[in-house]
């Protein structure tokens, strides 16, 4: 038995491309352009091509990417920004510092993604509160694209912009489109454990709008104007390091292949596990990049018992996320869908994620599968 099974195995990937990464790092050390060196522009070009977005900009992390997007869209006091509650904190964290109000929206039980009906209720609620509905931040949770056709229709009807938070979903497919190219602005994160991660913090922002791109470029470097010491606006220092861009160039080169490998792991899991736990769905014409493979226990099944059985068998498992944002101390004062967020609350009680990465061997997959099958017959 492999008692060292990794939840996400970054070492296996590094082993595959070690010499190329070493060469890339050496090239940066040789030219010495550590800030905005040539690798940054090269990566931006390749990221844009990968997802089919006209513009891509590197930045310091996925949270800054969201923050910069809000700055470029001129979000401010009185604005209501709709966020799912079942997500990582960054999605909503960036809204209050702009003076705007996050309003929490529920998610769909089968996809874990933003519920359009809840969004409509939250828009009406924002108006009742005297706030101006200005935008929505759908999340591609666990690597699966949100239901963009429906969200885009609602956004058009209510004149909302869309920031697609694709920190977990860059490169996923939604009905012929690739995430990164969806939304008024799309953002991603290169945190090491994300599907496309670097060796530190990193992020990127995507848009098809040249004016927004110019604003984002300015905000990313202290609100710069035509030159460095010309400050047109209040910005951030949020550049992607040249070294991280160099590493990402080699990781992006194998990313399509890794996405394929993730499909195989997910397909094997789903076939073997769907009779034992509630397995994740992927809607027609969509492809997840499987940032996580997240299952739910059935009514009557005990998640804690399930997870301790897995851990005892050497299978790492994690709960993403144990508490929805609207129930967190920092976010509970903000408004939410007035009908409540029952699905987000239920998911927080029933989900858990199992090992998922492109290098998970069939042998390790079988250990995971067997552990879940045993835990399910015991519960
Ligand atoms: C990881 C993550 C972020 C933030 O990315 P960082 O690079 O860690 O700042 C934002 N949104 C979601 C949904 C994430 O999972």
Average of per-residue pLDDT values in the chain: 96
Quote the ligand 1 centre to 69 CA distance (angstroms).
Answer: 14
Give the model's pLDDT for residue 118: 98
Sign of CA dihedral 25, 29, 30, 33: positive
Strands across the sheet containing 173-174: 177-178, 173-174, 286-287
**Ligand 1 centroid distance, CA of 240 (Å):** 15
pLDDT digits (tens, 9 = 90+) for 147-164: 999 999 999 999 999 999
pLDDT at 1 over 50: no
Q: How far apart are CA 294 and CA 296, in angstroms?
A: 7
For residue 202, the ligand 1 atom closest to its alpha carbon is 7
Ligand 1: centre distance to CA 94 (Å): 11
**Would you say residue 308 has pLDDT above 90?**
yes
pLDDT digits (tens, 9 = 90+) for 29-42: 999 999 999 999 99
Which residues on adjacent β-strands are paired with residue 238? none
Q: Separation of 66 CA from ligand 1 center, angstroms? A: 9
Sequence-separated (6 or more) residues with CB below 8 Å from residue 149: 175
DSSP H or E stretch at residue 104? strand 101-105
Q: Which atom of ligand 1 is nearest to the CA of 63?
A: 9
Asked whether the predicted pLDDT for residue 2 surpasses 70, the reply is: no
Over 50: is that where the pLDDT of 319 sits? yes
Of 56, 151, 155, the closest CA to residue 111 belongs to 151
What is the per-residue pLDDT across 168-177, written as a single tens digit (0 to 9) for each? Answer: 999 999 999 9
User: Which atom of ligand 1 lies at the shortest distance from residue 61's CA?
Assistant: 7
Half-sphere exposure of 250 (CA within 13 A, CB side): 20
| Residue of minimum CA distance from atom 10 in ligand 1 | 90
Whole-angstrom Cα distance, residue 61 to residue 198? 10
* pLDDT tops 70 at residue 351: yes
- Provide the phi-psi class of 272: left if phi over 0, else alpha when psi is between -120 and 50, else beta: alpha
Please provide the DSSP assignment of 70-83 as one string.
Answer: HHHTT--TTEEEEE
Q: How confident is the model at residue 343, as a pLDDT?
A: 98
Q: Is the pTM of this model over 0.95?
A: yes
Q: Token pair for residue 59? A: 């930045």
**Between β-strands 79-84 and 132-136, what pairing exists: parallel, antiparallel or unpaired?**
parallel
> How close is the Cα of 105 to the center of ligand 1, in Å?
18
Q: What is the Cα–Cα distance from 192 to 117, expressed in whole angstroms?
A: 34
Could you write out the DSSP letters of every residue in 319-337? Answer: -S-SS-GGGSTTTTTS-B-
- Position 150 scores a pLDDT of 98
Q: Which ligand 1 atom sits closest to the C-alpha of 201? A: 7
Backbone angles phi, psi at 221, to 5 degrees: -120, 70
Give the dihedral sign, CA 7/10/11/17: positive
Give the residue from 7, 289, 23, 263 showing the smallest Cα distance to 168. 289
pLDDT digits (tens, 9 = 90+) for 92-148: 999 999 999 999 999 999 999 999 999 999 999 999 999 999 999 999 999 999 999
What is the DSSP secondary-structure string of 280-344?
A: PP--TTEE---S-EEEEPPTT--HHHHHHHHHHTT---B-S-SS-GGGSTTTTTS-B-TT--HHH
SS3 state at 161: strand
Shortest-distance atom of ligand 1 to CA 191 = 7
- β-sheet with 185-189: strand ranges across: 55-59, 203-207, 185-189, 161-165, 132-136, 79-84, 101-105
Mean pLDDT value of segment 179-197: 98
For ligand 1, the distance from its centroid to the CA atom of residue 166, given in whole angstroms, is 8
Residue pLDDT, tens place only, 212-258 = 999 999 999 999 998 878 999 999 999 999 999 999 999 999 999 99
**From CA 141, how far away is CA 292, in angstroms rounded?**
9
pLDDT for residue 228: 79
pLDDT tens-place string over residues 250-299 = 999 999 999 999 999 999 999 999 999 999 999 999 999 999 999 999 99
Q: How many CB atoms lie within 10 A of CB 27?
A: 14
Residues with CB under 6 A from ligand 1: 61-63, 87-88, 90-91, 139, 165, 167-168, 189, 191, 201, 203
Element (H, E) at 257: helix 255-273
Contacts of 233 (CB under 8 A, 6+ apart): 218, 219, 223
Q: Confirm if 305 and 378 have CB atoms less than 8 A apart.
A: yes
State in Å: Cα 270 to ligand 1 middle.
Answer: 26
The per-residue pLDDT for range 49-102, each reduced to its tens digit, is 999 999 999 999 999 999 999 999 999 999 999 999 999 999 999 999 999 999
C-alpha closest to that of 99 among 83, 133, 69, 75 = 75
């Amino acid at each position: 038995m492999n008692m060292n099974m990794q939840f996400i195995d970054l070492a296996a990937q590094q082993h595959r491309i070690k010499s190329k990464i070493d060469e890339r790092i050496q090239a940066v050390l040789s030219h010495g352009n550590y800030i905005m060196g040539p690798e940054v522009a090269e990566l931006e070009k390749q990221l844009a091509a990968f997802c089919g977005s006209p513009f891509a900009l590197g930045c310091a992390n996925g949270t800054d990417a969201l923050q910069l997007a809000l700055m470029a869209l001129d979000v401010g006091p009185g604005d209501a920004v709709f966020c799912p509650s079942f997500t990582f904190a960054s999605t909503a964290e960036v809204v209050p510092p702009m003076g705007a109000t996050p309003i929490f929206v529920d998610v769909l039980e089968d996809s874990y993604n933003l519920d359009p009906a809840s969004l409509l209720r939250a828009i009406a609620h924002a108006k009742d509160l005297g706030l101006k509905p200005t935008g929505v931040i759908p999340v591609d949770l666990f690597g699966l694209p949100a239901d963009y056709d429906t969200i885009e229709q609602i956004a058009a009807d209510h004149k909302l912009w869309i920031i697609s938070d694709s920190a977990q979903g860059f490169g996923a497919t939604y009905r012929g489109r690739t995430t990164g190219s969806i939304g008024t602005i799309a953002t991603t994160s290169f945190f090491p454990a994300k599907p496309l991660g670097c060796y530190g913090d990193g992020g990127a922002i995507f848009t098809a709008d040249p004016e927004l791109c110019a604003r984002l470029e300015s905000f990313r470097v202290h609100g710069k104007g035509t030159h460095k010491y010309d400050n047109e606006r209040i910005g951030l220092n949020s550049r992607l390091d040249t070294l991280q861009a160099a590493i990402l160039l080699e990781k992006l080169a194998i990313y399509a292949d890794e996405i394929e490998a993730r499909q195989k792991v997910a397909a094997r899991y789903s076939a073997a596990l769907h009779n034992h736990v509630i397995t994740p769905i992927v809607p027609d014409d969509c492809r997840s990049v499987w940032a996580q493979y997240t299952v739910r226990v059935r009514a009557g099944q005990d998640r804690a018992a399930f997870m301790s059985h897995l851990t005892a068998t050497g299978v790492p498992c994690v709960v993403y996320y144990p508490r929805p944002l609207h129930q967190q101390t920092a976010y509970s004062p903000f408004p939410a869908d007035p009908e409540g967020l029952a699905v987000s609350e239920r998911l927080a009680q029933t989900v858990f994620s199992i090992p998922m990465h492109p290098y998970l061997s069939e042998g390790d997959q079988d250990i995971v599968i067997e552990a879940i099958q045993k835990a399910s017959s015991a519960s």
